[in-house]
Amino acid sequence: MIYLDHAATTPMSDQAKKIWLEANDIFYANTSSLHEAGNHAAKLLMTCQHQLASLVGTNENGIFFTSGGSEANILALESLFSANRKHGNHVITSDIEHPSVLSFFKRLEVSGVEVSYIKAKKNGQVCVKTVMEAVRSDTCLVSIQHVNSETGIIQPVAEIGEYLKERSAVLHCDCVQSFGKIPVTLGNLHVDAISISSHKIYGPKGVGAVCLAPHTPWNSIHPLTTHQRGFRPGTLDMPSIAAFINSALDLHSYLEENLTDSWEKREHFLHALSPLKYRLSVICAPEKHQLPTIVGLAIEGVQGQYMLASLDRYHICISTGSACQSTKATPPAIMHSFFKTEVEQLRFFRVSFGISTTLEELEFTAKKIIQIAEN
């Protein structure tokens, strides 16, 4: 099998599996228990918090573990909104966010909060000027993703964050697709909170984190919760957290090398598709605004779902967008930036590779894509 859907989930690394098993044997106790075994687990938790805090540029008090990226988004937004709604009844997001983010803002609308949805420009990026113009004196919360999961296009979060610095609104950023692949810190993005996920970086599924900048106000939305200072109820899954942080540390130690390797793989793959010439559209941004591991494509005369099903017969796994939207027949929202008609938008498919992907696998995949497109 050739697995080219790393943007949906990555295979768990051998090292993460090893850490997970060892932590299950040694640190199985509840971190809230007061006995010796509980203290050992609590010390591991503090170590993991400290290590993650050092990666994202905050302190351990700003690290909260969740059940994954979606819950991280929801809990971060709910906690931030609860603490900052005193500044007003207006919030801002984009129309290309992850479903977990959009569902939160849709719920706010139902409860009477005014929501401004910023549309992506023709280049797939959210317009900084439009966001600035949308900010009002009663804006209390803004949420803009870092990397779009369908196209890999990097959004201008740092510019938006810089503008919001002197204003009362807090800025949240969904960094699930970017963390561990390109530099991500609260400081370089000028954000108050980020959400990240383990299974996007070769760690186990079922664990993620919210990282808050120092002094960021938040309120517990779960009364009587004592776990993680009230941020999230429930006993912590320390084996998964330990494996998650190990994966994060490992990827960050090879960040530049992996990035260079990813660009080489991308260029090799696109060159192999060159026989398609003018029928092929590559949905992307200039290099400095593009995550190399996600390749958005469309071929004239071929629907994305047909390409997915055809490649699957050759045991090649790709997708037609975010796995969270896979059951919908409609194209991803960001496709409106690149194509005018729904017929054109439905041609989109996504190839996303990882550190274990070989040039031979990409060459074989390109060969089959060309074969399917020409039949």
pLDDT at 313: 97
Assess contact for 104 and 341: CB atoms under 8 A.
Answer: no
pLDDT at 328: 61
Residue partners of 171: CB distance under 8 A and separation at least 6: 142, 143, 144, 157, 160, 161, 164, 190, 191, 192, 193
CATH (domain of 363): 3.90.1150.10
Find the mean pLDDT for residues 190-198: 98
pLDDT at 325: 54
> 198 and 78, same structural domain?
yes
Alpha-carbon distances, residue 138 vs 11, 114, 166, 331 (angstroms): 44, 10, 14, 34
CATH (domain of 90): 3.40.640.10
Domain of 41, in residue numbers: 14-253
Strand arrangement, sheet containing 348-352: 280-283, 294-299, 348-352
> 274 and 174, same structural domain?
no
Using 50, 70 and 90 to split pLDDT, how confident is the model at 331? confident
Total structural domains in the chain?
A: 2
> 273 and 233, same structural domain?
no
Q: Which of 237, 253, 269 is the last residue of a domain?
A: 253
> 92 and 216, same structural domain?
yes
Indicate the pTM of the whole model.
0.95
pLDDT tops 70 at residue 25 = yes
Report, as residue numbers or ranges, the catalytic residues. 324
> 273 and 352, same structural domain?
yes
> 293 and 246, same structural domain?
no
> 289 and 148, same structural domain?
no
Alpha-carbon distances, residue 165 vs 32, 161, 190 (angstroms): 37, 6, 8
> 180 and 109, same structural domain?
yes
* Residue where the block lists tokens 């317009």: 127
Q: Which of 212, 230, 253 is the last residue of a domain?
A: 253
pLDDT at 375: 85
Helix (H/G/I), strand (E/B), else coil: 143: strand
Residue-wise pLDDT for 116-170, tens only, equals 999 999 999 999 999 999 999 999 999 999 999 999 999 999 999 999 998 989 9
* Partners of 171 in beta bridges: 142
Residue-wise pLDDT for 203-256, tens only, equals 999 999 999 999 999 999 998 888 899 999 999 999 999 999 999 999 999 999
> 350 and 242, same structural domain?
no
> 366 and 315, same structural domain?
yes
CA-CA distance, 15 to 17, in Å (whole number)?
A: 5
> 126 and 53, same structural domain?
yes
Angle, in degrees to the nearest 10, between helices 69-84 and 99-110: 30
Q: Which of 253, 279, 299 is the last residue of a domain?
A: 253
pLDDT at 326: 54
